[in-house]
Chains A and B, each alone.
Chain A
Amino acid sequence: GQSLEQPSEVTAVEGAIVQINCTYQTSGFYGLSWYQQHDGGAPTFLSYNALDGLEETGRFSSFLSRSDSYGYLLLQELQMKDSASYFCAVFHSGGGADGLTFGKGTHLIIQP
């Protein structure tokens, strides 16, 4: 089976930097993804790490350490629109139409 752990809620100030951690337990590992979901909205893909290290996409970066079964999402220069839930997710296998198992999500609250 697969399970992912992430904090339920994080609070940060507008303009600051915030890190959302995710630890996972999987029978096989095929990469860690991050999705953003605004209230009532669709999950939106943010980032994917298959190998150790940091991936940067604009204000968002994602890090992976496979030896520690750990990753994080880093959000810089926080804006009010970044208030949302953030989910880490792992693929079920390295094949084709593979499903994702999601964590329970981290609700990010941005304060002015």
Chain B
Amino acid sequence: EPEVTQTPSHQVTQMGQEVILRCVPISNHLYFYWYRQILGQKVEFLVSFYNNEISEKSEIFDDQFSVERPDGSNFTLKIRSTKLEDSAMYFCASSPGQGTRNQPQHFGDGTRLSIL
């Protein structure tokens, strides 16, 4: 079964540095998402992306964050000037984007980001 893949599985970074989290969505999916989950807490929506532009973003997704689809397969989340509170698991997800709306979102295994 096709799956969403994320790299790296764990990223350790010094506070103030920039990080790029990478995702390869399922190949025929058109809608892409980033979520984060602070340890022991709920999954929080960050941003959704379609047709090479942001569709929706949450209050969390401020100027520190950006997303990009640099080629036909990758979808990246960049976090600038990282802070301690950015430490979390970051999940990428994708959904087909064709046919009925509100389709299931398929999540990757996540990247655990640790800010020191």
A and B are partners in one complex rather than unrelated chains: yes
Chain A residues engaging chain B, CB cutoff 8 angstroms: 30-31, 33, 35, 37, 41-45, 48, 50, 87, 89, 91-105
Report yes or no: A41 in contact with B91, Cβ–Cβ below 8 A. no
Chain B residues engaging chain A, CB cutoff 8 angstroms: 31-33, 35, 41-45, 47-50, 55-56, 58, 91, 95, 97, 101-102, 104-110
Secondary structure at chain A's binding surface: helix, strand, loop or mixed?
A: loop
- Chain A: CB-nearest residue to B3: A42
**Complex: A50 Cα to B109 Cα, angstroms:** 27
- Cβ contacts A to B, 30 pairs, < 8 Å: A41-B109, A43-B43, A43-B91, A45-B104, A45-B105, A48-B104, A87-B43, A92-B45, A92-B56, A93-B56, A94-B101, A95-B101, A96-B50, A96-B97, A97-B31, A97-B32, A97-B48, A97-B49, A97-B55, A97-B97, A98-B55, A98-B102, A99-B33, A99-B45, A99-B47, A99-B48, A99-B58, A100-B45, A104-B41, A104-B42
Number of A-B contacts (CB under 8 A): 72
- Chain B: CB-nearest residue to A37: B43
A93 cross-chain contacts in B, Cβ below 8 A: 56
Report yes or no: A91 in contact with B42, Cβ–Cβ below 8 A. no
Report yes or no: A45 in contact with B56, Cβ–Cβ below 8 A. no
Given contacts A97-B48, A100-B45, A101-B45, contact A42 B108 (CB under 8 A): yes
- Chain A: CB-nearest residue to B56: A99
**Complex: A102 Cα to B107 Cα, angstroms:** 14
Given contacts A97-B97, A98-B56, A99-B56, contact A31 B43 (CB under 8 A): no
